[in-house]
């Protein structure tokens, strides 16, 4: 299967990935490769005009890697940085 785009990591994004624990890092990299092959908004989606994010959930945490499309090649996504967010496990208020 042919990749739909290439991924380039800026220094901060590389550091983010390198500093992740092994299991979440493996899952994030797996999901990046999967997103390159297929359209899946659970893995890679537009969140603002020119900002996109790769998303991975592992061990009750969300790992997000922010990126944008390279305007010249239109076949490359440039990852800038990442964050770790605890997943929200709450029940809706009754009323």
Reported pTM: 0.83
Q: What is the pLDDT of residues 48-75, one digit of tens each?
A: 999 999 999 998 899 999 999 998 887 8
Q: Where are the domains of the chain?
A: 6-86
Model confidence at 8, pLDDT cuts 50, 70, 90, reads very high
Task: Report pLDDT digits (tens) over 22-49.
Answer: 999 999 999 999 999 999 999 999 999 9
* Residue length of the chain: 95
Type and span of the H or E element at 78: strand 76-86
> What is the CATH T-level fold of the domain 6-86, as seen in this structure?
YaeB-like fold (3.30.2310)
Higher-confidence residue of 12 and 75: namely 12
What per-residue string of b and e applies to 55-91 under the rule 16 or more CB within 10 Å gives b?
bbebeeeebbbbbbbeeeeeeebbbebbeeeeeeeee
């Amino acid at each position: 299967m042919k990749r739909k785009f290439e991924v380039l990591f800026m220094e901060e994004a590389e550091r983010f990935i390198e500093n992740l624990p092994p299991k979440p890092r493996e899952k994030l990299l797996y999901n990046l490769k999967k997103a390159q092959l297929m359209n899946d908004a659970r893995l890679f989606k537009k969140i603002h005009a020119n900002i996109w994010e790769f998303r991975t959930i592992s061990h009750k945490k969300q790992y997000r890697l922010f990126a944008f499309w390279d305007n010249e090649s239109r076949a490359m996504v440039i990852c800038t940085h990442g964050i770790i967010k605890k997943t929200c496990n709450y029940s809706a208020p009754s009323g």
